[in-house]
Structure 1
């Protein structure tokens, strides 16, 4: 008998991105390839939480693609899938404000997500 229960990961998300995810309009989540995310796969569930609150939303992971850097990720996935409210250059600046160069050097993950009911 196989285990059909998806793994659930809990990740914090800034309010501005949480609102886009919970509305179902942000379909690509951007993360650094930290060890705890290296085994993330399609079918896993991510429970996003706004840090310090009980506000959560859950998404299903549809696919995970690794990129060498954030610029390549935005070009490969399309900026409007990452954040439809900001230009590519704005997004790149925002992402790099969150993750400094030494974090980006670990590799970057584009996580395609689908909002769960």
Structure 2
């Protein structure tokens, strides 16, 4: 039996989402099911970086849940966990502004995150 050490992934975030993660208010990150995220798993660490800066925040992945689209993800996870400052419809519009339909067609990932204690 081999133990695989938890991996550290670096992902960019827009400032408004980064700030929510950094204070523990955003507990579910939304991503498209890109191939490079296919093996993301509970126990991994994600180092979020504010787009265009060196500012980072580390979180531990609690679970990764796949959904067919962003609507199903928001309904399954609850919009307050994704962005407590915006309602469901606003979030859906914001997410789709980041990810066009051809990206959403790849599937949606809800990544449950927990802020690491040293931040």
Smaller-chain TM-score range? over 0.9
- Structure-2-length-normalised TM-score: 0.95
| C-alpha RMSD over aligned residues | 1.1
2:10 alignment partner in structure 1: 10
1:31 alignment partner in structure 2: 31
2:58 alignment partner in structure 1: 58
Shift of residue 51, structure 1, vs aligned partner: 1.8
Q: Does 1:82 align with 2:82?
A: yes
1:106 alignment partner in structure 2: 106
Residue segments in structure 1 that go unaligned for 5+ positions in a row: none
- Structure-1-length-normalised TM-score: 0.97
Aligned residues: 117
Residue segments in structure 2 that go unaligned for 5+ positions in a row: none
